[in-house]
Amino acid sequence: MSKVAFLRIFIGLFGVVFIILTFWLSVYFHLSISTKIVIALAFALATIFAEFIIAIDNLEKRLKVAFPSLELSLKEQMAINETIMLYNKLKKKKTNISTRIAIKGFENIHHLLKQAEKGGDFTFQNIYVAKMIILAELKPGQSFKIVSNLIEPFYWKSGKDETEHTKLNYKQAKRGIHIERIFILKNDDDLSKMREIMEEQEQNNIDVFYAFKNNLNKLLPYASFAISEELSCGVISHREDLLGKVVITSNNEIISELSWQFDSIKKQSNKFNAAKKSLYIK
């Protein structure tokens, strides 16, 4: 039974009881006919007012079902409405290939949202933004484990997303979030060029490790991955040459498997220690 139906039944039953009490009290207190009419009219007005409130609430719910954007903030509504207008405008034109590609990309958003809504994996186009969203949600005492193939200094120093990602790592580590990062290197040259980045991260309260890919004995299941067990969320990169395209998962079995993989890779990794000005094997 809905709340509206329950409220209407309650008002009806209360009305019957109220009418009976009114006539009983009128006999007991010898109320005049005019007094009884006033009491009855007062209750009638109260009932009408209650029905009016119910009708408004019901109308609001129906409007939100018909126009779901009403539940969003004004800024979000404006952005969505503008997006829909642009979509309609481009769909009418379809003048070139790039327009058709943009339309297809917009239509794929529906699939992405449906996958997220039912807890399925989906593809996201920005590895930095995905990790930053997870990092921003973590609380002191929680952890973020990363196996990283971002082994070029410009992945940490160049561009808006890159620098914001670096700054957020340091900010959250300072707040007490336990960040562990294992860099997957190809050779000693990678180690030399990443030394400054690893030292900076270690000095900003991040536990930094490194491992050579050839020494992992197929322990690395993907090109890179990052997980938060507390948030049951993971970011997976399947290819080394495709950093911008990652898979987002909230599958608990996959998260547990990646956590085990992380611990196994960590055992085969080297710990970075900036204080000793050298790298040593654990």
Among 119-128, 140-149, 225-234, the range scoring the smallest mean pLDDT is 119-128
Q: What pLDDT score does 268 carry?
A: 92
Percent of the chain with pLDDT strictly greater than 70:
68
Q: What average pLDDT score do residues 250-267 get? A: 94
* DSSP letters for 15-26: HHHHHHHHHHHH
Contacts 24+ apart (CB under 8 A), 32-35: none
Exposure string of 163-187, with b = 16+ CB inside 10 Å and e = fewer, is eebbebbbebbeeebbbbbbbbbee
Q: Name the pLDDT band for 143 (thresholds 50, 70, 90).
A: very high
Q: What pLDDT score does 52 carry?
A: 67
Residues forming a β-bridge with 246: 124
* Sign of the alpha-carbon torsion through 38, 40, 41, 47: positive
Pairwise pLDDT comparison (93 vs 64), residue with the higher score: 93
Q: What average pLDDT score do residues 88-98 get? A: 70
Among 24-28, 197-201, 232-236, the range scoring the smallest mean pLDDT is 24-28
Closest listed residue to residue 255, CA positions, set 273, 235, 269: 235
Pairwise pLDDT comparison (229 vs 126), residue with the higher score: 229
Pairwise pLDDT comparison (106 vs 18), residue with the higher score: 106
User: Are the CB atoms for 156 and 162 separated by under 8 Å?
Assistant: yes
Q: What pLDDT score does 133 carry?
A: 92
**Mean of the per-residue pLDDT values of the chain:** 81
Residues forming a β-bridge with 280: 271
Q: What pLDDT score does 252 carry?
A: 92
Q: What pLDDT score does 108 carry?
A: 72
User: Computed over its alpha carbons, how large is the radius of gyration of the chain?
Assistant: 31
Pairwise pLDDT comparison (45 vs 224), residue with the higher score: 224
Among 48-52, 86-90, 170-174, 263-267, the range scoring the smallest mean pLDDT is 48-52
